[in-house]
Structure 1
Amino acid sequence: MNTTLIPDPLVRFLGKPRREFTRSDIVRYVREQGIEMINLRYPGSDGRLKTLNFIINDQSYLESILTCGERVDGSSLFPYIEAGSSDLYVVPRYRTAFRNPFSEIPAVDILCSYYTKDGTPFEMAPEQTLRRAHEALRRVTGFDFHVMGELEFYVVAPREELFPAVDQRGYHESTPFSKGADFRARAMQYIAQAGGEIKYGHSEVGNFTQGEWMYEQNEIEFLPTDLEAAADQLLIAKWIIRTLAYEYGVSVTFAPKITVGKAGSGLHIHTRLMHDGRNAMVGADGRLSENALKAIAGYLSLAPSLTAFGNTNPTSYFRLVPHQEAPTNICWGDRNRSVLVRVPLGWSRGAGGMACDANPLEAPTDPDVDLKQTVEFRCPDGSADIYLLLAGLAVAARHGFEMENGLQYARDRYVDVNIFDDKHREVLARLSSLPASCEESARCLEAHRTIYERHGVFAPGLIDGLVARLTAFHDANLRQEIAGDQMRIKQLVDTYFHCG
């Protein structure tokens, strides 16, 4: 394996891809690179990483940590676990190990899986749910599921007067009009060194000033990879971005909406079905395949309940409003940013001709562009439980293949017009809508729960816990109740500023 251009120091040192990491590999890296600390990391129900720190006493202790993990109190991490039976094990997954970029003490961090007192996977853990979702999808369809996320966030820093940016015109802006480019580049470097497969980063449309503070929206987009790895790297990326912001003396928020009339932050998820290294969402003619249409049918059919995993607090539904490049209606289309499921612009076969035209000295090439084609699910936001959201999308893709009328279901919900244009009211009238609150999302999850529980993917107790948590917001009429009340809106934003 040629590791020359790979930024991940563990991959470079071990000379193998992360999926092949073993316990002995981690021990060798620790011993030969002077690592003094192991940090076990695992997500709680709030979606944020929790931590256990271990100072390495000797090799025997190191091997014990890597083999046995440690006990944790599950009832303090997940509200749906009873305190009387809450002991869980957290056991490291070696493929997730990375060199901590912030620790003054040389440290390796590793993500963990949860296990019960009997040593069996904890069925209500989000990561275990994701694994079961992928296994069920493979059994039903024969396909692997690849995904990648678009991680949007605002950097909040003291206001600057030099080179002011135009309000809500920050898309792909460069320095000096974009002030956060250095922060974003450093975050990308650290994420890549931690194993994140990044496609690119850029400034996003959202920017504004409020009092003494400047808000700049950024995005880091990843490359498609297998389902489990995609979830892990998104979780690590959010931790890195926040920790780096703390070092820079600025704040960062992934919150879906932080003020009225300004762009919210989404977590768009791109998906593809893979078989033997080929993209099964593209047909022999280069067009979208029937496999893709079936997956789209599943996304649309379960869209109302998918919000239970991807839009998890009341501010989520202040983002899902018309004319804000966020979806409100359940439909799909090509390149249209107002739809729920979007088929982004792909590359035509023979795309190498563009490079030849731009660079006359280059010889013609025929790159495999089919792998670039994805199908994008656009309603999730930064409040999402990443593992459960991706598990839910895997269930939805599988469900599309299980639907008797999946192909027609998708074709009936295709739109090729701006549905908010008055000229196309009849199109808008025939489309159903996404939930408008956490309470409504909970009802949709309850209605669809048998689909999520099928094949043993989502544990019934997990669905019960999610329904109870969403219902407890009592936000069915919140958007109408506080419309125009800037003080109440600000209080709501402050409450969920650091969600997810």
Structure 2
Amino acid sequence: MNNEQLIMNANEVVAFLQKSPKEFTKADIMYFIRENDIEMVNLMYPGGDGKLKTLNFVITDLAYLDTILTCGERVDGSSLFSFIQAGSSDLYVLPRFSTAFVDPFAEIPTLCLLCSYFDKDGNPLESSPEHTLRKASEAFTKVTGMEFQAMGELEYYVISEDEEVFPAIDQRGYHESAPYAKTNSFRQMCMKYIAKTGGQIKYGHSEVGNFKQDGLVYEQNEIEFLPVRVEDAADQLMVAKWVIRNLAYEYGYDVTFAPKITTGKAGSGLHIHMRIVKDGKNQMLSKGVLSEKARKMIAGMMELAPSITAFGNKNPMSYFRLVPHQEAPTNVCWGDRNRSVLVRVPLGWAADVDMCKAANPNEPKTDYDTSIKQTVEMRSPDGSADLYQLLAGLCVACRHGFEMKDALKVAEKTYVNVNIHDKANAKKLAQLAQLPDSCEASADCLKKQRKVFEEYGVFSPAMIDGIIAQLKAYKDKTLRKDIEKKPKEIQKQVETYFHCG
């Protein structure tokens, strides 16, 4: 972090210590707690259901605080993860000092720290979410010599009581301003709190989806993050969902990240943007066009896309969003600025034009390096995803692209330059692979491609077995076809998975 980032940082711990979180030590944390009258410490960690778990400690003396920060605590792994048996379930959770933030909701001054899991022998738990992602990131760097960075577009619906004033137009909520969008101030407060926890936010806005149902208003929102190291991206998304839900509870709203909550209305995705960086420079562009390295990344995602759904689309309602001929993708292809494809290359400020001066004639000419902004975007995941598994899976896929001998040919074969659903593309469409249409089908794809995810010890065999078993248990192979014209049955499924992830 540079001085500007430290001075304006919203995280109270960073602002107080004037240090980058990566430099935090145990002494720093103890100093902050002592000097800021912190009375409690929360250890937080993701469970197998994709939600944050919390262990509370009241701070009574410095010796006990030192014990908590040094030794962590025991937890019951069998209550957190389905792959751990009750007979040998004890795990350790150890705080990572770099994740420290002041709880914005606690009445008692409280410091929160995210944790890593360790097994009985004191080794990182092979199948834990955070360690799996770290292994994926390290393997990517080992193979490519570059850092893998990511960020998410977190979409969600806010549900509130109906208001008759300034009614919104159904399914026309994209970037709408108040008073037609009713929950903008709620989203802005969410952004403020997420920033306080250390989240690096790009922007927030209202999304397309809005509708009324049973006396309630459903408004879709999005908070998009900035690209950071992939491990940090997962932590930030995990904490952001926790913040949004807690703040919704305080406001008296309900919130859902579910992929689909009613037919005929926009579903919510969790699009993931990625870039690769070496020596601080983005490697996604070369002479103003998408680089060979970026196309290799895309090729890996094209190859492994069917099995990535096993990490990013984790319940049956995911496949009511991923249906043919809609904006959510089903065809394994990629393209520029094209929302009908699986992997999109968004506008990246690649044109050598000083738009700032064009918009502001009084400004001097600038030589700002806009190439750092270029990313590629995976559009299939949704809010049911296990964030750590998903980002690890994408990291593996992009690494795999560098190891494929025919990567550039695969990229060329799967590229489309216009809407894939146009009649002119019928022949091309017939040649493309399709995403799975159910959790069971997704499990089958993962089973076929599991070897790639297990390479370099990234995904443990036990973890892959557990994911396959979890997906198979839904028994939804024909569910979409069976109930697609039965609104009551669909609503029953919506209610079952309303608070997923």
Report TM bin, short chain: over 0.9
Cα shift readout 1:281-305 (whole Å, capped 9, x = no counterpart): 111x121111001100001100000
**Residue number in structure 1 paired with 2:357:** 356
**In structure 1, C-alpha distance between the alignment counterparts of 2:10 and 2:112, rounded to whole Å:** 16
**Residue number in structure 2 paired with 1:293:** 295
Residue 355 of structure 1 and its aligned partner are, at CA, apart by 1.2
Matches within 5 A, 1:470-481: 470-481=471-482
**Residue number in structure 1 paired with 2:426:** 425
**Residue number in structure 2 paired with 1:383:** 384
**Residue number in structure 2 paired with 1:109:** 112
Retained in 1: the 8 A contact 2:349–2:373? yes
2:481 corresponds to 1:467: no
AA of the residue aligned to 1:433: Q
**In structure 1, C-alpha distance between the alignment counterparts of 2:458 and 2:7, rounded to whole Å:** 40
Equivalent of 2:321, from 306, 319, 322? 319
Residue 322 of structure 1 and its aligned partner are, at CA, apart by 3.0
2:228 corresponds to 1:218: no
Retained in 1: the 8 A contact 2:289–2:350? no
**Residue number in structure 2 paired with 1:50:** 53
Residue 349 of structure 1 and its aligned partner are, at CA, apart by 4.8
**Residue number in structure 2 paired with 1:369:** 370
AA of the residue aligned to 2:100: A
| SS state at 1:57 partner | coil
2:24 corresponds to 1:24: no
Matches within 5 A, 1:388-403: 388-403=389-404
2:243 corresponds to 1:240: yes
Cα shift readout 1:367-410 (whole Å, capped 9, x = no counterpart): 11111000100000000000000000010011001111011111
2:188 corresponds to 1:185: yes
**In structure 2, C-alpha distance between the alignment counterparts of 1:37 and 1:77, rounded to whole Å:** 23
2:74 corresponds to 1:74: no
2:138 corresponds to 1:144: no
**Residue number in structure 2 paired with 1:5:** 8
Residue 348 of structure 1 and its aligned partner are, at CA, apart by 2.7
**In structure 1, C-alpha distance between the alignment counterparts of 2:136 and 2:101, rounded to whole Å:** 26
**Residue number in structure 2 paired with 1:336:** 338
**In structure 1, C-alpha distance between the alignment counterparts of 2:10 and 2:456, rounded to whole Å:** 39
TM-score (norm 2): 0.99
Residue 17 of structure 1 and its aligned partner are, at CA, apart by 1.1
AA of the residue aligned to 1:336: N
| SS state at 2:290 partner | coil
| SS state at 2:369 partner | coil
Cα shift readout 1:229-282 (whole Å, capped 9, x = no counterpart): 111000000000000000000000000000001000000000001100011111
Retained in 2: the 8 A contact 1:168–1:206? yes
Retained in 1: the 8 A contact 2:258–2:499? yes
Retained in 1: the 8 A contact 2:401–2:407? yes
| SS state at 2:285 partner | coil
Moved over 3 A (4+): none
Retained in 1: the 8 A contact 2:7–2:18? no
Indicate how the Cα distance of structure 1 residues 419 and 349 shifts in structure 2: closer, same or farther if over 3 A, else same. Answer: closer
**Residue number in structure 1 paired with 2:444:** 443
Retained in 2: the 8 A contact 1:305–1:444? yes
**In structure 2, C-alpha distance between the alignment counterparts of 1:469 and 1:322, rounded to whole Å:** 25
TM-score (norm 1): 0.99
AA of the residue aligned to 1:439: E
Retained in 2: the 8 A contact 1:157–1:213? yes
2:240 corresponds to 1:255: no
**Residue number in structure 2 paired with 1:85:** 88
Residue 82 of structure 1 and its aligned partner are, at CA, apart by 1.0
Residue 422 of structure 1 and its aligned partner are, at CA, apart by 2.2
| SS state at 2:303 partner | helix
**Residue number in structure 2 paired with 1:162:** 165
**In structure 1, C-alpha distance between the alignment counterparts of 2:17 and 2:386, rounded to whole Å:** 32
**In structure 1, C-alpha distance between the alignment counterparts of 2:444 and 2:186, rounded to whole Å:** 41
Identical pairs, percent: 61
Retained in 2: the 8 A contact 1:331–1:339? yes
Residue 20 of structure 1 and its aligned partner are, at CA, apart by 1.1
2:125 corresponds to 1:122: yes
Retained in 2: the 8 A contact 1:350–1:367? no
**Residue number in structure 2 paired with 1:306:** 308
Equivalent of 1:40, from 26, 39, 43? 43
**In structure 1, C-alpha distance between the alignment counterparts of 2:206 and 2:418, rounded to whole Å:** 28
Retained in 2: the 8 A contact 1:149–1:221? yes
Gaps of 5+ in 2: none
Q: After the TM superposition, which of the residue ranges 1-10 and 45-54 deviates more from structure 2? A: 1-10
Retained in 2: the 8 A contact 1:45–1:77? yes
Equivalent of 2:174, from 156, 171, 174? 171
Quote the RMSD (CA, aligned, Å).
0.8
Cα shift readout 1:1-31 (whole Å, capped 9, x = no counterpart): 3433221111110001111111111101100
AA of the residue aligned to 2:312: G
| SS state at 1:110 partner | strand
Retained in 2: the 8 A contact 1:349–1:369? no
**In structure 2, C-alpha distance between the alignment counterparts of 1:299 and 1:222, rounded to whole Å:** 21
**In structure 1, C-alpha distance between the alignment counterparts of 2:452 and 2:275, rounded to whole Å:** 21
Retained in 2: the 8 A contact 1:349–1:366? no
AA of the residue aligned to 1:426: K
Retained in 2: the 8 A contact 1:313–1:438? yes
**In structure 2, C-alpha distance between the alignment counterparts of 1:322 and 1:475, rounded to whole Å:** 18
| SS state at 1:498 partner | coil
